[in-house]
């Protein structure tokens, strides 16, 4: 089977970013990368804030935040009045966890594909309330039908108080059949929280059609917003119960203002976020998504071939449009979180390449992302040099 051809580069896209040209930045999924125009838009807002802080914070800022939220929610197909801006997906998850009213004996059901910080937030809330976290194993090669069946079997009506699932997993770059899972959970009376950290910008997402009780996604990854920009969408029946992590002067205004307003928070990342969507739209949303998914698939095959991984053993992301791909590392390498972090650092320092190295289920994995600033030769250089580095155990 031949290696798929890389997509045609998008002319001028690399020049939109201030990334170090000496480094192959193949890990957009970690912290994103804000285009230069977005950086400048945020700096202008910071200049405005520092020119007269009192005026900036007290004259119309709540309305400016609401206007921004409506813009971002509209792009994602979410109800603007049922959404709130938050710092990141994990913050949105924490807001939901402390608002649903877990009690002793309740169960939060998750899968073994969950993001580490979200898992820690769930465990902390379970310790605080006396609830328990049950983790459902989902094999990486499972089909959508098998995933839905496993979750249907794993639900315990009357005990499962909340199901937390990923739309696109960070750990394994696997697209889950989110809407189908939500439908099954609702059949059993179980509310669902969707961790959609990687969905905004990457996937053609319409939040309202998913039907989840709670949905949280980052705009600062694939939506080109400044870091610290995410959206939490809440179904109507839950909105009156949503409480912020910190009470502020907008507490009596109800949701979403009580969650969004956090006093002297730097709101410039949120206010500059529409500039990120403008960049994405200027390049062509579908064009960017197609380019990134094709480039990630190319990188997966090139590096996989270099490591001797048969194409049939390269994990399928589970659907089109996914701009991250997973490659299994040789047995015994990066099998723990600590070893994965150490290898990621070695690759960064010795190969001038930023990648994600993940220890999951006793196996080490390499996660590559594709973005408009990446080129095929960056993956090819990694493929040439990585095997020798891995052999230096």
Alpha helix segments (H runs only) across 188-256: 207-210
Class of 14-31+284-391 in CATH: alpha beta
Count of positions (residues) in the chain: 393
Q: pLDDT grade, residue 3 (50/70/90)?
A: low
Contact by Cβ (8 Å): 76, 100: no
Q: For residues 273 and 226, is the Cβ–Cβ distance under 8 A?
A: yes
pLDDT for the residue 109: 98
How far is it, in rounded angstroms, from Cα 72 to Cα 274?
A: 7
Q: What is the pLDDT, as a whole number, of residue 4?
A: 76
Return the minimum-mean-pLDDT range out of 317-321, 351-355, 361-365.
Answer: 317-321
Q: Quick check: 1 pLDDT over 80? A: no
Sort 232 into a burial class: Cβ within 10 Å, 0-12 / 13-18 / 19+: buried
pLDDT digits (tens, 9 = 90+) for 292-342: 999 999 999 999 999 999 999 999 999 889 999 999 999 999 999 999 999
Q: In 3D, which of 284, 181, 215 has the Cα closest to residue 73?
A: 215
CATH class, domain 38-277, is alpha beta
How far is residue 42 from each of residues 55, 57, 168, 270, measured CA to CA in Å?
17, 16, 28, 9
Q: What is the pLDDT of residues 244-263, one digit of tens each?
A: 999 999 999 999 999 999 99
Domain boundaries, the chain: 14-31+284-391, 38-277
Model confidence at 240, in pLDDT bands (50, 70, 90)? very high
pTM listed for this prediction: 0.96
As separate numbers, helices (DSSP H) first and strands (DSSP E) second, the chain gives 15, 12
Three-state SS at 148: helix
């Amino acid at each position: 089977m031949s290696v798929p051809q890389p997509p045609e580069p998008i002319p001028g896209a690399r020049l939109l970013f201030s990334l170090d040209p000496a480094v192959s930045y193949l890990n957009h999924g970690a912290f994103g990368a804000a285009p230069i125009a977005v950086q400048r838009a945020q700096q202008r807002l910071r200049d405005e804030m520092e020119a007269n802080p009192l005026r900036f914070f007290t004259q119309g800022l709540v309305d400016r935040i609401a206007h921004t939220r409506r813009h971002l929610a509209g792009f994602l197909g979410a109800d603007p009045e049922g959404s709130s801006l938050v710092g990141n997906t994990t913050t949105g998850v924490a807001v939901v966890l402390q608002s649903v009213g877990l009690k002793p004996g309740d169960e939060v059901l998750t899968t073994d594909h969950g993001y580490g910080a979200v898992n820690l937030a769930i465990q902390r809330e379970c310790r605080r309330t006396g609830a328990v976290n049950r983790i459902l194993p989902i094999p990486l090669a499972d089909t959508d039908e098998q995933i839905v069946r496993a979750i249907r079997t794993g639900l315990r009506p009357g005990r499962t108080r909340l199901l937390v699932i990923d739309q696109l997993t960070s750990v394994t770059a696997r697209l889950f059949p989110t809407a189908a899972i939500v439908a099954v959970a609702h059949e059993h009376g179980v509310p669902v929280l969707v961790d959609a950290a990687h969905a905004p910008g990457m996937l053609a997402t319409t939040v309202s059609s998913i039907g989840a009780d709670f949905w949280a996604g980052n705009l600062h990854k694939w939506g080109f917003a400044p870091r610290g920009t995410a959206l939490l969408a809440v179904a109507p029946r839950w909105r009156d119960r949503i409480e912020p992590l910190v009470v502020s002067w907008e507490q009596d205004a109800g949701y979403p203002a009580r969650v969004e307003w956090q006093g002297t928070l730097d709101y410039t990342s949120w206010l500059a976020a529409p500039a990120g969507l403008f960049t994405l739209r200027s390049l062509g949303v579908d064009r960017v998504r197609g380019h990134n998914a094709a480039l990630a698939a190319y990188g997966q095959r090139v590096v996989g071939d270099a490591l001797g991984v048969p194409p049939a053993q390269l994990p399928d992301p589970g659907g089109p449009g996914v701009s991250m791909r997973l490659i299994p590392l040789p047995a015994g390498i990066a099998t723990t979180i600590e070893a994965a972090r150490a290898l990621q650092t070695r690759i960064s320092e010795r190969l001038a390449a930023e990648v994600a190295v993940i220890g999951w289920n006793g196996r080490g994995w390499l996660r590559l992302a594709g973005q408009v600033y990446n080129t095929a030769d960056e993956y090819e250089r990694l493929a040439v040099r990585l095997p020798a580095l891995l052999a230096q155990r």
